[in-house]
Amino acid sequence: MDTALLDGEYELNDRGLPFLVDGLSELMQRVALRLKTKKGSYIYLRELGSELEGVDDVGDAVHSRAELLAREAVADIPQRYIESLSASMTEEGRLKISLCLNLDGEQGQLEVVI
């Protein structure tokens, strides 16, 4: 179980209190955090995060690099299974990672913009 987050802050329930998420929601939140966080930015856990901020174009070779970096960032999350993963650029020139996660047969779609 983990505390629900929304835009870097605790997500609040209708009573204004933080609440817990588990299962697929927790997995999706952990994957999103790993992808969005710059690798090395946590002082006590330098290997946490990704190097995706350095990808500035999604050509054939760069697409493969972005995909590799995304898979590397989430490799040590227990119970994660990525069914599909793709990288593209938004109209604003930012990297967008789209993936489909599977947790015990339950699927979830996740898009993260870096």
What CATH number did the domain enclosing 104 receive? 3.10.450.40
pLDDT at residue 75 in the model? 86
pLDDT at residue 114 in the model? 87
Structural domains in the chain (count): 1
Mean pLDDT across 92-113: 90
Model confidence over 1-12: pLDDT tens digits? Answer: 889 888 778 999
pLDDT at residue 98 in the model? 93
In whole angstroms, give the CA distance from residue 109 to residue 69.
Answer: 19
In angstroms, the Cα distances linking 91 to 81, 96, 104 are 29, 10, 35
Model confidence over 39-87: pLDDT tens digits? Answer: 988 889 888 889 888 887 666 566 788 888 888 888 888 777 888 888 8
Query: What's the token pair of residue 17?
Result: 């209190």
Residue 65 near residue 73 (C-beta atoms within 8 A): no
In whole angstroms, give the CA distance from residue 99 to residue 83.
Answer: 7
| Residue 95 belongs to domain spanning | 2-113
Q: Which helix (H) or strand (E) covers residue 30, if one does?
A: helix 23-36
| Local confidence band at 107 (pLDDT 50, 70, 90 cut-offs) | very high
